[in-house]
């Protein structure tokens, strides 16, 4: 990844977190954990976790419904010239890491 791609990922991560905070209903905590860009920067996927976990499906449906509004939010709040096609996904890698940490913590006690 280039420095430019890293900068775009950080901008999208920050704006994704702000957008979900502003537009969410507050029934769950949504944390943006990562952004993946395709090699040419045409597509970006914003990964997030949800607490409590029972609200994951609802939060993902909400985020996917709001993709076009998020794109407008990115255009209004950044100086990115070309906005990638945006999508949201649950960060299963982070969920797995947390589960491993939990299991290791139980084993140590």
Buried b (16+ CB within 10 A) or exposed e, 5-36: beebbebbbebbbebbeeebeeebebebbbbe
pTM for the model: 0.86
Distance from C-alpha of 44 to C-alpha of 41, rounded to nearest angstrom: 7
What total of structural domains would you count in the chain? 1
Q: What is the pLDDT of residue 109?
A: 57
Instruction: Residue 47: give the domain boundaries.
Output: 3-108
Each residue's pLDDT expressed in tens, for the chain with a length of 109 residues = 589 899 999 999 999 999 999 999 888 999 999 999 997 889 999 999 999 999 999 999 999 999 999 999 999 999 998 999 999 999 988 777 777 888 887 766 5
CATH of residue 25's domain is: 3.30.300.20
pLDDT of residue 108: 66
Q: How high is the pLDDT of residue 70?
A: 98
Strand order in the sheet with 43-51: 29-37, 43-51, 85-90
């Amino acid at each position: 990844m280039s420095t430019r791609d890293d900068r775009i990922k950080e901008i999208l991560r920050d704006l994704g977190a702000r957008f979900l905070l502003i537009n969410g209903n507050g029934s769950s905590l949504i944390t943006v954990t990562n952004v993946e860009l395709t090699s040419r920067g045409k597509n970006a996927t914003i990964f997030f976790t949800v607490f409590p976990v029972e609200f994951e499906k609802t939060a993902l449906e909400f985020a996917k419904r709001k993709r076009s509004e998020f794109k407008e939010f990115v255009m209004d709040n950044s100086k990115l010239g070309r906005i990638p096609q945006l999508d949201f996904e649950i960060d299963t890698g982070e969920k797995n890491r947390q589960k491993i940490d939990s299991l290791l913590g139980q084993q140590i006690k």
